Chains A and B, each alone.
Chain A
Amino acid sequence: MLSDFPDHFPPRRNRVHEACGPNAFGFAFALAGHLRGSVLWAREAWHADQINPAGFSPYFDPHSLLIAKGNDQTEVLATAEEALRSGAVALTVIELTKSIGLTAGRRLQLAAEAGQSTGLCIVPEGAGSNAVETRWHCTPVFDPTDSTLQRWELIKNKSGTLTAWDVRWNAEARRIIVVSEARERPVP
C-alpha cells in the first residue's frame, strides 16, 4: 500500500503549523532539514534548556540557524511575524509557552502567506491556536531494534483527515522514513 505520508509531510508551505508533544523539537529539526534553507528560531530569553547544535547537525547545518531571543512572548511573536513576512528564511520556528489567541495566530498566518515561508509553533501540550493549518503531536516510541522510532500524529488538519504514522530517522539518507503499517496478508 502506498503511504499517504508525502501528501502531509512536509506540511503545506506558506502556512503556519504547530507541533506539540515530547518530541516536537525533533519534528522541527526534521522539517528544517526537509525545507533546505535558513531557519530562524525565536524563543524567550529565560529558557534554561538549550537546543544543542551537535545534536541536530545530522538534520541540517547549524550554520544556517539563527536564534532570536525575545524578552517576552509578544517580542517573540513580533520577531516571528517579521521573519515570516520578509521571506528571507525558509522556516521560522516559534517556541511558545502560552497559547496564543486567534488574532495572533491569524497574523502569523497572513505573514507567512505574504512572505511565502513556513512557520512552525512549538506549543505546550493542550495549548494551540485555532488559526493554524495543522497540528502535529510527536512522541518517541520505544523499539527494541532501533532508537529513532517515533509516532507523528496529525491531531488537527484544516484540509484533510487526521492520521498517524510511525516514522524513523535514517541517518545515512538524512531523511524521515515511514514504517509500513502492520496488516494482514491479502487473501488471494
Chain B
Amino acid sequence: MPKRVVSLWFPRLASDRFLRARPIDAPFALTQRQSNTQRLYCLNLLASQQGLHRGMGHSDARAFCPDLQSHPADSVGDQRFLHVLARWAKRYCPWVGLEGADGLVLDITGAAHLFGGEATLLHDIHQRLARAGLLVKSGVADTRGAAWAFAHYGTGDATQAHPPDAIGRLPVAALRLEEKTCVGLQRLGVRFICDLSALPRATITRRFGAEVILRLDQALGTQAESISPLPNPPRYRVRLSLPDPIGLETDVMAGTARLLDQLCGKLKGREMGARVLLLTLRRVDKANQQIELRLACAMRDPLRILPLFERGVGQIDAGFGIDQLHLAATLVEPLPVQQMSHAHGRVDGRLDDLITRIGNRIGLENVQRFLPADSHIPERSYIIAPAAYSDPAGSWVNLRERPIQLFPPEPIMGAGPSPPAFLRWRRMTFRVERATGPERIAPEWWLSDENWRSGVRDYWKVETKQGRRLWLFYTPQNPGWFVQGQFA
C-alpha cells in the first residue's frame, strides 16, 4: 500500500493567531526585532495587498501604508499554538509531525477512507481551519517532500489530488532547497523539477553538493523520509479494577495506597509534584463518587498524601460496593529533587499537611497569611494572601507603634483638632488621661480608596482612665473623630 502524506502550511500563522483573539479590519503586521531593526514578521491579507512583504523594515512599511497596525511577535506563543494544532490534527490520523515553524505533516496512510476519501478529508480540514480563522494551504502526495511541494507551490484547487507526474511542473524551490542553491540552479536555466531530474546526477552533485539530489529523491520517493510524531503529554492517571466489590474504609484506603505508590513513582520519574488529586471510586451500579484533594504544596510522597485522603474516604457512600478506583493528578507542578539540609526551614511538612487538611474543609484560599506591603496607610501596610500559594517573604518594618486590632473607622463625638476629654465608644464612656500625637497620614492619591475620601488624617493614641488604649483619628478637611484601633 503506498504511503499517503498530507502537508499543511499556514502562511500567516502568527498574524492569524493574533487576529483570532483581537480582530482588526485594517492592514496589520507582527513585527520582530532582527539585528537592531524592527522588521515585519507576519502580515495579514490587507497588508499584503498594500504591497508590504515579510522582512520589510517596520518604518518603511509605515511610510508605505500609514494606517498599518502592528504588534510585537511572540514566536514562543506561535510554537505553542502550532503544537495545539498538531494535537487537533490527530483527529484525522495518529501520525502527526511538525514541519518547520509554520506547518504540519500528517501520515494519512490507511486513515483517509474513514473520512470518505482524501478529497473529503482535505475539504474537512480546510473547512474547519477556515472556520477557526486560519489560512491554510495543503498538499497531498505519496512522499513528504512532494506533499510539501504541493502545499507551498501547488496551484489551483488544493483539495484536489495531484497526479504523480505533476511535481515535475513545480519550480526547483519546491524541493526545500536553500535560497542560494535555487538561484544557482535558475542561473543555469534549471527552473522546474523536471529539468532537474533530466540532468545527469553526478554533475549536479559535483556542482551543488549532495543535498539537491537527496531532496529530489525524497520528493520522488526513491529515498525514504520519516515523519516523527510528537510525543504524547505525560498522563498522571492510574487505575485499579477489582474482581470483587469492596466497601470497607480500610480496603478503599489500601487500594488508594497502591494507586498512590504507582502515581508517585510516575511523578518522581518526571520530577513533578501533584497539586490537586482526584480519586474516583466507581460503584457496582456505575455511580461515580469523587474525592478531590487540593494540596497546600506540590507533593509526591505517598506516605504523606495517604492520610490526607482519610477524611474524604470516610464520607463516601459505598452502596453495594466499589469495583474500580481511579486516581489522577489533575494539576501538577515541577518539583525538582532537593538536597536534604539542616538549614532548610520547610523540611518538616507537617504544617503543609495541616494547611491541606484545613483547606479541604474550609477551602484552601481561606487559610491565609500576612505579607508585608509598602504603605503608610494602616490597613494597607499588609496584604493577606492564601498560605498555600505564597511564601513568607519580606521583613516587617515598624516605624511607629501600631494598634494590635484594627476596625473599620467608627465615628465618635468630638470637636476641634485636639482629642476630646471624654468619649463614648461602643456604649462605653471613657475619660482621656493622656493623648499622644498627632501623626499625620496622607491618603495615597494614586489609588482611589472610598475610605480615604475625607482627606488627611491625624492619628492619636489615647489612653483612658478606664484602661483601654484607643487609636483615634481626626480628619481636618472634613472635621470628625473616629476610632480605628485598639492597643494592647
Contact = CB atoms under 8 A, between A and B. Distances in A.
Interface of A: 22-23, 25-26, 29-30, 38, 40, 45, 48-58, 61-71, 75, 78-79, 82-83, 86-89, 139-142, 144, 147-148, 150, 169
Contacts of A78: 361
Interface string B476-488: 0000000001111
Best-surrounded residue of A25, A48, A63 (most CB of chain B within 10 A): A63
Best-surrounded residue of B362, B382, B434 (most CB of chain A within 10 A): B362
B166 interface: no
Given A67-B367, A140-B468, A56 B404 contact: yes
B351 A89 contact: yes
16 contacts: A29-B404, A48-B407, A50-B379, A50-B406, A51-B405, A52-B404, A58-B398, A66-B355, A69-B362, A75-B361, A82-B361, A88-B350, A88-B351, A140-B467, A140-B487, A142-B467
A82 B354 contact: yes
A86 B362 contact: no
Given A22-B467, A55-B402, 18 more contacts: A45-B366, A48-B408, A49-B408, A52-B402, A52-B405, A53-B381, A53-B396, A61-B396, A62-B370, A62-B382, A75-B361, A86-B357, A88-B353, A89-B351, A140-B467, A140-B487, A142-B433, A144-B433
Best-surrounded residue of A51, A57, A64, A139 (most CB of chain B within 10 A): A57
Contacts of B486: 22, 25
Best-surrounded residue of A49, A52, A65, A66 (most CB of chain B within 10 A): A52
B378 A49 contact: no
Interface stretch (B139-147, B179-187, B458-466): B458-466
Nearest to A171: B401
Interface of B: 348, 350-351, 353-355, 357-358, 361-362, 366-370, 372, 378-379, 381-382, 384, 387, 392, 396, 398, 401-408, 433-434, 461, 463-469, 485-488
Contacts of B357: 82, 86
B466 A142 contact: yes
Contact of A87 (B350, B384, B461): B350
Contacts of B382: 52-54, 62
Q: Is the interface of A mostly helix, strand, loop or mixed?
A: mixed
Contacts of B487: 55, 140, 147
Given A62-B396, A140-B469, A54 B381 contact: yes
Nearest to B436: A147
B396 A57 contact: yes
A66 B369 CA distance: 5
Nearest to A49: B407
A125 B368 CA distance: 28
B398 A83 contact: no
Given A82-B354, A89-B354, A142-B465, A55 B366 contact: no
Nearest to B394: A63
Given A67-B367, A71-B362, A140 B488 contact: yes
Given A75-B362, A82-B361, A89-B351, A54 B402 contact: yes
A97 B253 CA distance: 38
B403 A52 contact: yes
Contacts of A65: 369-370
B405 A49 contact: yes
A98 to B, nearest CB: 18
Contacts of B387: 66
A138 to B, nearest CB: 9
A60 B354 CA distance: 21
A183 to B, nearest CB: 23
A141 B465 CA distance: 8
A54 B378 contact: yes
Contacts of B351: 38, 66, 88-89
A71 B363 CA distance: 10
Contacts of A75: 361-362
A35 B381 CA distance: 26
Nearest to B381: A54
B461 to A, nearest CB: 8
A139 B406 contact: no
A26 B469 CA distance: 12
B358 A68 contact: yes
Given A52-B378, A67-B384, A150-B488, A25 B433 contact: no
A89 B467 CA distance: 32
A53 to B, nearest CB: 4
A89 B378 CA distance: 28
A148 B369 contact: no
A141 B396 CA distance: 28
Contacts of A142: 433-434, 463-467
Contact of A69 (B348, B366, B433): B366
A161 to B, nearest CB: 24
A147 B407 CA distance: 21
Best-surrounded residue of B379, B392, B467 (most CB of chain A within 10 A): B467
A177 B351 CA distance: 32
Nearest to B433: A142
A52 B406 contact: yes
Contacts of A38: 351
Contact of B485 (A55, A67, A68, A150): A55
B353 A86 contact: yes
Nearest to B399: A54
B310 to A, nearest CB: 12
Top 8 closest pairs, chain A to chain B, by CB: A26-B488, A63-B392, A88-B350, A55-B404, A54-B402, A140-B467, A53-B370, A55-B402
Nearest to B383: A53
A82 B360 CA distance: 11
Given A49-B407, A67-B367, A67-B368, A29 B350 contact: no
